[in-house]
Each structure stands twice: as C-alpha cells, then as structure tokens.
A and B are shown apart, each in its own frame.
Chain A
Amino acid sequence: MRSPAMKSVRFGLAVFVCCLALTACSREYTLRGSAITSPKAAPAFTLTDHNGQPFRLSAQQGRVVLVYFGFTSCPDACPTTLSNLARVRRDLGSDAARVQVVMVSLDPERDSAEVLRNYVTAFDATFLGLRGTPEELAPVLKAYGVAAIKRKLPDSALGYTIDHTIYTYVIDPAGRLRETFSPDAATADVASDVRYLIRTGDS
C-alpha cells in the first residue's frame, strides 16, 4: 500500500539525485596553480639539453612540459622544486611518460652540461637540464617574465649567486602556457593538474 504522498516524495528524490549527478558532470575542473585566464601558446624556444641535443619546445607537443628556471648551486628553491616534480612524476604512474620536466640553467657559466646532467638526473632520470648562451637565454627569460639577477658575494666561496624567479611553468599538450606553481605547491595539486591536462589539454 503506497500512498500518493509517498510516491511524490520518491519522485522528488529521484529528480534531486539526477540534478546532483548532472551538476557533478558539468562542474569545470579548476586548475590548482596560478592559472592563466586566457591561455596562449607558450613562448617558443630552442636551447641545448645536457646531452648536447637541441631541445625545441615545439617538438614537445602532446606532452605536458614543466619548465623551471634555476641553477645547480642554488641551495633551496631549485632542489625543493625538482624534488617535488620528481615526486609528481612518481605519483603519475603511467601518465608520467607524457610529462617532460626541464630546468633551464640561469648560470651557464658554471653549469656545464656535465654538472647540469648530474644535478637534474639526481632527482629523476628523465629530467633535462637546458643551456643556452646569454644571448640565447635573454629572450626566453623575457618572454616568460623570469627575473635572473647576478649578485656578487665577495665574502662567499660561491663568488656570486643569482636571484631568480622560482615558479614552475606548466605547458599543456597543445603547447599553451596554462599556469604556474610556486615551489611550496602541494605535489598532489601539481599531479592532479598534470593528469587533467594530459586528458584534456590536446584540444
């Protein structure tokens, strides 16, 4: 014996559940870094990787490229970032094959190809260190809005350091610059965004 009142409650519930399901489906994924509101093609560049091979950003289409600008005698932000990005790659499992992490050296004077290779591959064997002459680097830094200011340290055995921008730039598989992360970003957030971009960022 079911009362009409009971029936309408059931109907109402069913409608409610459907609405919930629909909102869940249509909810846009929100990038968790500092998202770029109208993404454009990431500024193109060609530099030399730590194996002496040319690295063209345009040749990376179809993969998510995480670009970091740093140097090997950087004590803090650089190892923190690369260490976190190595964890992101581990957390991505099979999706990691569609991610390329690169560190563009801001210190080509000290970061020889060998020094750079030893450094970046200590974090993850697939990471690439990129080098360029000061003339090659300057337009890349300008295009990405990266500050790199050489500071003399007369009292330090280092001789000099480089004050530098510490963001990681996230480029989607279609080659668009989508967002930036700071070194303290949660690796789960970076992994989540990378996974999302691998699935959707082609178009």
Chain B
Amino acid sequence: MRRHLAPLILLASIVVLSACSNANAPAIQVTEAWARAPGSAQAGEPAATPTAESMAHGMARPTGAAYMRIRNTTSAPDQLLLAQSDVAQSTEIHTVEVKNGVMAMRPVDRIEIPAKGEVVLKPGGFHVMLIGLTKDLKPGDRFSLTLHFEKTGNIEIQVEVRQP
C-alpha cells in the first residue's frame, strides 16, 4: 500500500502545479489595443524638425494616445501603474473629465482593474498618453507597449496605429 502512495502523491503534486501555472488563462488580458498619433509627419514629408521656438517649450514632438481593453481574470483586483514604450519620450496614464462642456485632462497614479472585471481605456476616459513621439507613427504601424501591473508584473502588448 505504502509503495503506491508515493507515486500518487507525486501525481497529485504535478496536477496541482500544472493547474497553478495554467497558461490558458493569463491573469491580465489586454485586447483591442490601438493608438492615435495625430501630427506625426505626413506621408512623403519628413518628421517635424524641432524649431527653436518649440524646443524652448519642451514640446518639439507631437503627442499620441493609446487605448485598450484590460481584463482581469483573477479573483483579486490588480493595478495598472506604468506604461512604457520606445516610441515616446515619456508615457503617462491619464484620464479626462468633462464638466459643463469643459474638458480637463489629469494624470492618474493607477488604474484599478477589478477582480474578474475589466476596464476599457477609450476616448473620453482613461488613456495612455505618449508624450514626445520619437517615431513617425502612421496608420497601420504597430509598436510595442509594456504595461506594468502591481501584481501581474510586466505585460508587453502590440498597439496598432489607426487613422487619427
């Protein structure tokens, strides 16, 4: 009897372990990632060269925004803390609020993704702002964006550039 127990325990452990590392359901799923990059250079035109004037104000390059659907499949909330991409000098998480027809954009520290829930980053709400685009982004282009979540860690996603 004892002799049979050891392999059984081993088998059970393997089953439990593989359940834990089940790759079928990643903790965080990001889909429908797209970006708008208006003001990137026009087709056939070189990228905007910074002028003395624009340099003086630190805004030599245009900005863009990335949107996506973030789904949390776990039973604990997670937080999107940071985003990073080499297409922009700086990347921040922002939201916008409209009050009496006046829109205000504000950086946020984090976006909470509720347990078994989702948050959609979309025009009129949360977005990842790409400040100071270092690449000329044209509709159809794709670039990678790394999202840093408090619990899940880093997730690299591909973002499709759409017509502004």
Interface residues of A (CB under 8 A from B): 72-77, 79-80, 82-83, 109-110, 112, 114-115, 118-119, 121-123, 147, 149, 151, 153, 155-159, 161, 163-167, 182-184
Contacts and interface: CB of A to CB of B under 8 A. Distances in A.
A83 to B, nearest CB: 6
Contacts of A80: 123-124
A156 B53 contact: no
Interface of B: 36, 38-42, 48, 51, 53-54, 57-59, 62-63, 65, 89-90, 92, 94, 96, 98, 101-107, 123-124, 127, 129, 131-132, 163-164
B101 A112 contact: no
Per CB-CB distance, the 7 closest pairs between chain A and chain B, nearest first, are A157-B90, A119-B39, A163-B104, A110-B59, A122-B38, A75-B65, A118-B39
B96 A72 contact: no
- With most chain A CB atoms within 10 A of its CB, the pick from B62, B94, B104, B105 is B105
B96 A115 contact: no
A82 B42 contact: no
A115 B104 contact: no
Given A72-B38, A77-B96, A165-B102, 13 more contacts: A75-B63, A76-B96, A79-B38, A80-B124, A115-B54, A118-B62, A119-B62, A123-B38, A156-B92, A164-B102, A166-B98, A166-B101, A183-B124
A110 B39 CA distance: 13
20 contacts: A73-B59, A75-B65, A76-B103, A76-B105, A77-B98, A79-B36, A79-B123, A110-B57, A110-B59, A114-B48, A118-B39, A119-B38, A119-B39, A122-B38, A122-B42, A123-B38, A157-B90, A163-B102, A163-B103, A182-B101
B54 A114 contact: yes
- With most chain A CB atoms within 10 A of its CB, the pick from B57, B101, B129, B131 is B101
Contacts, number: 110
Contacts of B123: 76, 79-80
Nearest to A75: B65
B102 A166 contact: yes
Contacts of A122: 38-40, 42, 164
Contacts of B129: 75, 158
A149 B99 CA distance: 13
B39 A72 contact: yes
A8 B38 CA distance: 66
A63 B58 CA distance: 37
B127 A76 contact: yes
B103 A166 contact: yes
Given A72-B63, A80-B123, A157 B103 contact: no
Contact of B42 (A73, A121, A151, A184): A121
B163 A83 contact: yes
B59 A115 contact: yes
B122 to A, nearest CB: 9
A185 to B, nearest CB: 12
A161 B95 CA distance: 12
Nearest to A167: B101
Contacts of A123: 38, 164
A156 B102 contact: no
Contacts of B58: 159
Contacts of A115: 39, 48, 54, 59, 62
